Amino acid sequence: MKNPCENEEMDEVREEEEMKNTRRNINKEKTVKSVQESLEFLEKHIKGKKFFGGDKIGYLDLVVGWVSHWLKAMEEVGETKLIEAERFPYLYKWCDNSVEFPLIKECIPPREAILEHFHGQLISYRNSLEPKKL
């Protein structure tokens, strides 16, 4: 008796899933590389300082203060590490400092809301990778 899992239709489905996974992985790698290039730029500008403006929090810290909170959610949803203490030591420390600053802390949405947002974005993104059916 022939194995029901071994037929042309199943092979086509498997191949299609493999292609989708390959596209996802390639796009994920490109996205991680792009994000880390941006983080390298920020790392250079905060090197040796507590905040971008020096010892005191400044305008740029307030403008990008949300980054650390959102990055952690992006890492969790995307199952990847974007900001590592070894690669971005100053920015990593800044992330810890910035989320504790009262003005930033008050304005950051709840973690659950951010995770929900990124889960929705990920689903939309994955759906966009699906082959279009005519």
Nearest to 98 by CA among 130, 60, 124, 48: 60
β-pair partners for 54: 51
Residue 61 identity (one-letter amino acid): D
pLDDT above 70 (res 40)? yes
Instruction: Give the confidence band of 134 by pLDDT, cuts at 50, 70, 90.
Output: low
Q: Looking at residues 99-106, what average pLDDT do you find?
A: 82
Render 26-95 in DSSP notation, one character per residue: HHHHHHHHHHHHHHHHHHHHHTT-SBTTBSS--HHHHHSTTHHHHHHHHHHHHTS----TTT-HHHHHHH
* Confidence (pLDDT) at 7: 66
pLDDT above 90 (res 86)? yes
Q: What is the pTM of this model?
A: 0.68
pLDDT above 90 (res 101)? no
Distance of CA 33 to the CA centre of its chain: 11
Q: Could you tell me the CA-to-CA distances from 101 to 52, 54, 58, 66 in Å, in that order?
A: 14, 15, 11, 11
Phi, psi of 54 (to 5 degrees): 120, -130
* Pairwise CA distance, residues 81 & 40, whole Å: 14
Q: Looking at residues 103-110, what average pLDDT do you find?
A: 84
Task: Tell the CATH topology of 8-129.
Answer: Glutathione S-transferase Yfyf (Class Pi); Chain A, domain 2 (1.20.1050)
Most confident listed range (73-77, 84-88, 115-119, 121-125):
84-88
Q: Which residue has the higher pLDDT, 4 or 94?
A: 94
